[in-house]
Structure 1
Amino acid sequence: MQLVKVGLCAFGMSGKVFHAPFLKEHPGFFMLAVVERSKDESQLKYPETTIYRSVEEMLANADIELVVVNTPVQTHFEYVKKALEAGKNVIVEKPFTVDISEAEELVKLAKEKKLFLSVYQNRRFDRDYHQVQKILEEGKLGTLKEVEIRFDRFRTEPSQKEHKENPELPGSGALHDLGSHLIDQATQLFGFPEKLFADVFSMKGPEFANDYFEILCFYKNDFRVRLKSSVFSKEAHCAYILHGEKGSFLQERTDAQESELVSGAVPTYHEDWTKPLTKPDGIINYLKENSETERILTSSEPGNYMDYYQQIYEHIFFGAELPSPGAEIIQNMEIIEAALKSSTEGKVIFFK
């Protein structure tokens, strides 16, 4: 198998949890370099990797073919642009950039350089999201009328991460962070809405970036999709609630890849590596063709973030479709910006 030589721009949580383990275990990638400004932590698990003290220094390495930009969102534009100008293909962590104009400039540059630019939308590979896709494909709910997608946490104390908590910094807050996932899933499942209304603010107080949002997306035929997140949610809600003309489906958020990776789990290539479910994590209640009601407990199948890197590999060597290309993710950023405008102005925002 041909190797793709990769440079990782940071070795914080994103690097340690979401990227390095998969680059290590996938036989088609070799993590050639990593940026650590003052530490040497990567050497413990990845002694074969060269440490650089700056992104610029790493980009000067001509052997690197693919760069993962996993630094704070406020630096994404700068580092993605430098990587593209250095002739590297790029994976950039979500959120893509702080605003649409930056994203559009990077997509244009990648096209001019004949390089690819993919946004790391890893929640497309969650088990619970896959289960929702499966239920929709089966069509048992009939025409959908209402959907709610939530991502709640109980984190009442602010983190120590300035780039996420400072409301003065563009791109900070839950809407750009968790909202990037929920909005991406909504557009993947249902397309782009006609209009939206949103409420975005900080439950912890105005001195912190937004930690709560609720976005009501309006689609044709009076179909509604509600996206919501709160950090004051001690008791878990169902992450996905779908209501259709023939029935309803409720799905819990049970994907544990992140927590297992944090605990030291090693992902595997083309195999399930997460712990199996101990009980059903969903329920469907619908009318069958004979008008009888069927109520079934459902269990989702394991997800695997390795599939993202497999798709990247297949794109490089076999011309397969690029996962979450930058040009596609721009539409998600349109929704983020519209949600902020709607919340500030207290009005419905229409899309052209």
Structure 2
Amino acid sequence: MKTQTLSVGLVGYGMAGRTFHAPLIQAAPGLELTVVVTGDASRVQADFPEVEVLSRLPLLLARRDIDLVVIATPNELHFPMAKAALNAGKHVVLDKPFTVSLSEARLLKAQADRADRLLSVFHNRRWDSDFLTLKGVLEAQTLGRVVVLESRFDRFQPRVAGQWRDHPRPGGGIWYDLGPHLLDQARELFGMPRAILLELATFRDGAQVDDDFLAMLEYDRLRVILGASALVAEPTPRFRVHGTRGSFVKYGLDPQEAWLGAGQVPEPAWGVDSQPGFLTLDEGTGDEVSLVGQETLGVPGDYTVFYAGIAAALLKGTPPPVTCEEALEVMSLLEAGLDSYRQGRWVRLKEGGGAGRRRLHPRA
């Protein structure tokens, strides 16, 4: 069993690499950010002067001291870079989404299995404060039987910035950007749905890819509605959940992304959300309805769990925080959603949606 600190090479130092991966790797016991591959060495050196910078991936893969390669590049590069890293005998973490197609993701999983290498995907929104708070509400059956969950991730970015996500290339657009977050959270709560219906739109002036989506997931006696838009200036609920005993509503995003972007380092009491959400519950008896409102007791978010889990998986043999099977389910939903949009109809999934797969959907 390994006991040493693992050396990590990070590929890409854009928004994802700089904001999420680099500081979270450094905060994880058992991991050390050793090398970053990027064309802009000055950005890395300004943040981590002790970290070496390389210009090309092959230079990193040739290093025998690198145990784990983290890939935070444009989505279409995930597959070829992860394939090369696995061929070089490295363990691999990919930023979400896994790849741009389900077939690519399956090939990578098979390759990792053959090589006995860890392969995981950074689905960090499992450790958002609002999601963990909602998960606790559902586990306690506070709302009774849940009948509707609405989950939105809205922003106001009216001008097309010209980033790679805004170009018509594989993995571009808001469905592949924010869809994986919302889909992964839904399947964590309720398992895989029976079917999906997706509508995509391109609303911004000058936009070339989808910047708005609305998706519905079909479960037994439960409706899940997922949405995201780049043209929402007025705050909308992050979550709105209704059940037979009442409702849960949460405004505002988990604060960790903003804190990491501002250069803050994870510390004790990290991830406490000042807006934990609001419950409206029926406290009446018999046929009488008596609605009582109260603020939810929030659960702190903690993105550090992901890389701490990766270190534990490699050093202690524990299961990774996100398994390939879970990431493949998200890819199945992404692709089925695109099929739904192209065909203009509900698309059924081969597996899922039954009560046996449901995780946190208690019956009345």
Question: Which of the five TM-score ranges fits, normalised by the shorter chain?
Answer: over 0.9
- Alpha-carbon separation, structure 1, partners of 2:285 and 2:85: 59
Q: Which residue of 2 aligns with 1:66?
A: 68
- Alpha-carbon separation, structure 2, partners of 1:275 and 1:245: 29
Q: Provide, for residues 214-247 of structure 1, a one-character-per-residue CA deviation record: whole Å limited to 9, x for no partner.
A: 1111112x31100011111111111111111111
- Alpha-carbon separation, structure 2, partners of 1:253 and 1:102: 35
- Alpha-carbon separation, structure 1, partners of 2:207 and 2:43: 33
- Alpha-carbon separation, structure 2, partners of 1:36 and 1:214: 35
Q: 2:121 aligns with which of 115, 119, 122?
A: 119
Is residue 70–residue 93 contact of structure 1 (8 Å, CA) maintained in 2?
Answer: yes
Aligned residues: 345
- Seq. identity, %: 34
Is residue 272–residue 304 contact of structure 1 (8 Å, CA) maintained in 2?
Answer: no
Is 1:95 the equivalent of 2:94? no
- Alpha-carbon separation, structure 2, partners of 1:299 and 1:202: 38
Q: Which residue of 2 aligns with 1:272?
A: 269
After the TM superposition, which residues 221-232 of structure 1 pair with which residues of structure 2 at under 5 Å, given as runs? 222-232=221-231
4+ residue runs of structure 1 moved beyond 6 angstroms? Answer: none
Is residue 285–residue 295 contact of structure 1 (8 Å, CA) maintained in 2?
Answer: yes
Is 1:298 the equivalent of 2:311? no
Q: Which residue of 1 aligns with 2:346?
A: 348
- Alpha-carbon separation, structure 1, partners of 2:223 and 2:256: 30
- Bigger shift: residues 144-153 or 254-263: 254-263
Distance 1:272 1:350, change over 3 A: same
How far apart are residue 203 of structure 1 and its match? Answer: 1.1
Q: 2:279 aligns with which of 264, 275, 284?
A: 284
| Bigger relative contact order (CA 8 A; separation at least 6) | 2
Is 1:108 the equivalent of 2:110? yes
SS in structure 2 opposite 1:40? helix
- Alpha-carbon separation, structure 2, partners of 1:128 and 1:118: 23
Is residue 28–residue 311 contact of structure 2 (8 Å, CA) maintained in 1?
Answer: no
How far apart are residue 254 of structure 1 and its match? Answer: 3.4
- Alpha-carbon separation, structure 2, partners of 1:332 and 1:205: 30
- Alpha-carbon separation, structure 1, partners of 2:219 and 2:49: 51
- Bigger shift: residues 142-151 or 16-25: 16-25
- Alpha-carbon separation, structure 2, partners of 1:153 and 1:329: 25
Distance 1:245 1:276, change over 3 A: closer
Letter in 1 for 2:241: L
- Alpha-carbon separation, structure 2, partners of 1:171 and 1:2: 36
How far apart are residue 275 of structure 1 and its match? Answer: 6.5
After the TM superposition, which residues 136-151 of structure 1 pair with which residues of structure 2 at under 5 Å, given as runs? 136-151=138-153
Please, what TM-score do these two structures have when normalized by structure 2? 0.90
Please, what TM-score do these two structures have when normalized by structure 1? 0.93
Is residue 104–residue 327 contact of structure 1 (8 Å, CA) maintained in 2?
Answer: no
Letter in 2 for 1:284: L
How far apart are residue 290 of structure 1 and its match? Answer: 4.0
How far apart are residue 312 of structure 1 and its match? Answer: 1.1
Q: Which residue of 1 aligns with 2:135?
A: 133
After the TM superposition, which residues 136-175 of structure 1 pair with which residues of structure 2 at under 5 Å, given as runs? 136-161=138-163, 163-167=164-168, 169-175=169-175
Q: Provide, for residues 88-138 of structure 1, a one-character-per-residue CA deviation record: whole Å limited to 9, x for no partner.
A: 111100011111010000000000000111100111111111110010011
Gaps of 5+ in 2: 351-364
Q: Provide, for residues 29-82 of structure 1, a one-character-per-residue CA deviation record: whole Å limited to 9, x for no partner.
A: 111111122433212332222211101111100110000000110100010000
- Alpha-carbon separation, structure 2, partners of 1:253 and 1:184: 19
How far apart are residue 16 of structure 1 and its match? Answer: 1.4
Gaps of 5+ in 1: none
Q: 2:19 aligns with which of 17, 20, 32?
A: 17
How far apart are residue 273 of structure 1 and its match? Answer: 3.1
Q: 1:3 aligns with which of 2, 5, 11?
A: 5
- Alpha-carbon separation, structure 2, partners of 1:159 and 1:207: 9
Is residue 133–residue 276 contact of structure 2 (8 Å, CA) maintained in 1?
Answer: no
Q: Which residue of 2 aligns with 1:210?
A: 210
